[in-house]
Structure 1
Amino acid sequence: MRSEQVKAIFDQQASSYDERWAKTAPIRDALHLHVAAVFAGLPADARLLCVGAGTGEEIAYLASRNPGWSFAAVDPSGAMLEVCRKKAEEGGFAHRCRFYEGYVESLSGQEPFDAATCFLVSQFILDPQARAGLFGAIAARLKPGGLLASSDLAADTALPEYEALLGVWLDMMRAAGIPASGLEQMRAAYAKDVAILPPGQVAGIIQAGGFGEPVAFYQAGLIRAWFSRRL
């Protein structure tokens, strides 16, 4: 999917995004719980880069538990970033955040970050080299040894069990209130607009961006997450 298409979709969905996915919040909350453990060794004044920050759910979670941390929220969707900003203001941690509309590749003039998050972002980049380039851009903005926590939809779509897992995933989405038309759009997007790759291949792309061997630490349905350190 082209970057301008992704931006347009999220611009359109921003105002209702959190409400739309409210019933799937346990998946997100469990990921955040694990990420907090991955980042447990970061310094009290850690600086985090949040790529594709969206409405800022991971920032809100981490900021509430780490009063000395600061955050750079980067997202190409200005509408999503505005929701993120309002959430930070309402949560009382906006003074610890900086908001950048655009892509991580254009972020300059920053001191290296201690850690980064990149949740459900790289899957929209269909070309593997360009996808590795995203992770390379993140690595370039981290301190040596800096931590990355990333997640994407990942599965071996060539295996028979993929259809079974996809069916369960879509049934879960149906139970969460996604209408039938939305489920068909989701199935079609997964087939052509989202780079759902085998987990090992995704891990290899992360490594190609300048990270050590990724460690898988979370899975929920089609979502998998890894942590890795900048080489």
Structure 2
Amino acid sequence: MDLLSPFTDPATVAHYAASTPQKVPGFADLQRMAMLLLAERAPAAADILVLGAGGGLELKAFAEAQPRWRLVGIDPAAAMLDLARDNLGAHMAQVRLVQGLIDDAPSGPFDGAACLLTLHFLPKAERLRTLQELRRRMAPGAPLVVAHHSAPQEGDVQTWLARSIAFANRVTVDFAQASATATTMAQHLPVLPAEEDEALLAEAGFSDIVLFYAGFSFRGWVAAA
């Protein structure tokens, strides 16, 4: 399965900004928490790297809250970067958008980095390499905020994905359909148990790794480079 293909589909791109907040519990609060965790350690005029920035939702939230931040957003999907430009509007003055993967990001050093709703698309080995490349671009002690699908423990992936899918359906509650969809998702998304996600952060060289967010199958951590 080409995991990039949904983000090149015109219908998916057109509905992304409206549908994503419905899928992720406390989506706006997650963005604000990420901003606060970055701002806690970063200087007032910080350089912040956002990996998986297509759509521009977190870039806009960060730019609105921190008008002195200089933001670099990386995403492999050109259509999603076009959507980011539309969503950012005047805030594009604070943002540089780059099409590509982590290897295409500037060398930094960045005062902080965020990767929201992205790492669950990457197989374990590529996820580790991506985290290592992120850390290499960050100043010592700079904060990293990540959030993505992550099961509480081994064997729980489909159960928690089904709960997230049921949450996203604002019209009906159909657990049978949610379970069937979760089975398909679990076959294509390399979702890891939370302990493995934390171990990858540590293996990539991050320290002070702390869980700050959990909502059904989604979990978020803050760590220091």
TM over 0.5: yes
Distance in structure 1 (CA, Å) of the matches to 2:165 and 2:45: 41
SS at match of 2:139: strand
Distance in structure 2 (CA, Å) of the matches to 1:134 and 1:107: 11
Preserved contact between residue 74 and residue 97 of structure 2 (Cα < 8 Å): yes
Preserved contact between residue 21 and residue 176 of structure 1 (Cα < 8 Å): no
Distance in structure 2 (CA, Å) of the matches to 1:177 and 1:79: 31
CA shift, 1:197, in A, is: 1.5
- In structure 2, relative to structure 1, the CA distance for the partners of 1:185 and 1:44 (3 Å cut) is farther
SS at match of 1:214: strand
Distance in structure 1 (CA, Å) of the matches to 2:159 and 2:189: 18
Preserved contact between residue 53 and residue 74 of structure 1 (Cα < 8 Å): yes
- In structure 2, relative to structure 1, the CA distance for the partners of 1:51 and 1:176 (3 Å cut) is farther
Preserved contact between residue 158 and residue 186 of structure 2 (Cα < 8 Å): no
Aligned residue number for residue 193 of structure 1: 188
- In structure 2, relative to structure 1, the CA distance for the partners of 1:141 and 1:172 (3 Å cut) is same
Distance in structure 2 (CA, Å) of the matches to 1:80 and 1:153: 20
- In structure 2, relative to structure 1, the CA distance for the partners of 1:188 and 1:74 (3 Å cut) is same
1:166-209 C-alpha deviation (Å, 9 max, x unpaired) = 443222122267999x9577413432111222111101111111
Preserved contact between residue 24 and residue 176 of structure 1 (Cα < 8 Å): no
Please list every run of 5 or more consecutive structure 1 residues that lacks an aligned counterpart in the other structure: none
Aligned residue number for residue 142 of structure 1: 138
Q: State how many pairs are aligned.
A: 221
What amino acid is the match of 2:52?
Answer: G
Correspondences of 1:113-124 after superposition (within 5 Å): 113-124=110-121
Correspondences of 1:7-86 after superposition (within 5 Å): 7-12=4-9, 13-24=12-23, 27-41=26-40, 42-86=42-86
1:105-150 C-alpha deviation (Å, 9 max, x unpaired) = 1224x43110011112111112x22211010111111111111000
2:3 is equivalent to residue 6 of structure 1: yes
1:38-97 C-alpha deviation (Å, 9 max, x unpaired) = 1232211101100000211111111111110010010000000111112122xx211111
Identity of paired residues, percent? 23
2:171 is equivalent to residue 209 of structure 1: no
What amino acid is the match of 1:198?
Answer: P
Distance in structure 2 (CA, Å) of the matches to 1:88 and 1:152: 23
- In structure 2, relative to structure 1, the CA distance for the partners of 1:50 and 1:185 (3 Å cut) is farther
Distance in structure 1 (CA, Å) of the matches to 2:58 and 2:171: 21
Aligned residue number for residue 101 of structure 1: 99
Distance in structure 2 (CA, Å) of the matches to 1:65 and 1:210: 29
Q: 1:223 aligns with which of 218, 222, 225?
A: 218
What amino acid is the match of 1:16?
Answer: H
SS at match of 2:141: strand
- In structure 2, relative to structure 1, the CA distance for the partners of 1:54 and 1:120 (3 Å cut) is same
Preserved contact between residue 63 and residue 91 of structure 2 (Cα < 8 Å): yes
Preserved contact between residue 23 and residue 164 of structure 2 (Cα < 8 Å): no
